[in-house]
Chains A and B, each alone.
Chain A
Amino acid sequence: MVEGPPLHDPVAIAVLLSDDAWPSLAFDIGQGERWDVQVVTSGEHSDDDKKRGQVGRTIITPARDGGVRIPRGMNVSEFWDILTKVLGRAEMMLPA
């Protein structure tokens, strides 16, 4: 890897807090766009591309009602600032 490792899981938490606690994260959820998500299930778990095909692929189409929000981006440097502060607070709680 040349640029740092990808970090995904904390983003799924950060999005919950962005409305009230951390609006500076500025998640880009489009203008109220919502999506239907279809998961491809044909295919097997395998190292062979021919056997697995596109199993696990998520295919999205615009939702007319219901559907999910899928953020397209956010303020990444703000995210790292917050994550660093949170990790700092966690460390302060540990015994010396």
Chain B
Amino acid sequence: MGISTVHGNASLEQTTHNALSILTALERTDIPVYPGAAKPFCRSAVHAPDIHGTTGLGGTSRLPKPSVTPVTETTAVVAMRSALLAQPKGKAWLVATGALTNIALLFATFPEVVGHINGLSIMGGAIGGGFTDAPLGHVKGEGDRFGNVTPWAEFNMYVSHRAGVRLEQILMLKSAIPKQHKASSPILNLLSKQH
């Protein structure tokens, strides 16, 4: 239905550009891209250039220049509301793979969306305590940690924790995926061979 972009691994300008570039590569520029929040509710934006490069998708020179521009006539949360409410009740899913600011703004401004969607899937959070058997990160001299950006916190929750709190208050989250799944060596080799 659509994509809203948000601050996170890189600036909103970069993440918007990246979304448009990927859609151009996949020949799916029919999917509209709406730039959303440039920063969290109450903090300055925090990015991750060490992991993802300054562009947010570092490490490749193969992504094309976008052939389309983002939609700016409608703000992201208004567009999200319209698209989701246009679907039959209980059908559409909303997925957040980045910072939660857009989602929290959407639900706070338009609470009627909450009961209308099938569900919300969030990539975020880190639990620890043996919640899963996925291997945990280990920083030399510090022991095991279950966060990835700090010893305690996963990146999306760290950069948009107030948005996370707002969502928690709304209590309509249907599914959340903690960051504890890693690729294994055979798959890394397979991807390497294809380039």
Contacts and interface: CB of A to CB of B under 8 A. Distances in A.
Interface of A: 3-9, 11-13, 15-16, 36-41, 44-45, 49, 52-58, 60, 66-74, 76, 79-80, 84, 90, 93-95
Contacts, number: 153
A15 B182 contact: no
B183 A58 contact: no
Contact of B44 (A45, A53, A67, A71): A45
A60 B179 contact: no
A73 B134 contact: yes
Interface of B: 25-27, 43-44, 46, 93, 95-97, 119, 121-127, 131-135, 147-154, 157-159, 161-162, 164-165, 168, 171-179, 181-185, 187-188, 190-191
Given A8-B179, A94-B26, 6 more contacts: A7-B181, A8-B97, A39-B157, A41-B161, A54-B153, A56-B164
Contacts of B161: 39-41, 55-56
A57 B147 contact: yes
A6 B150 contact: no
A84 B190 CA distance: 9
Given A41-B165, A58-B157, A68 B173 contact: yes
A45 B43 contact: yes
A50 to B, nearest CB: 12
A49 B175 contact: no
Contacts of B151: 49
Contacts of A55: 150, 153, 158, 161
A81 to B, nearest CB: 10
Nearest to A52: B150
6 contacts: A4-B191, A13-B95, A37-B125, A54-B153, A66-B171, A68-B173
B127 A56 contact: no
A8 B175 CA distance: 14
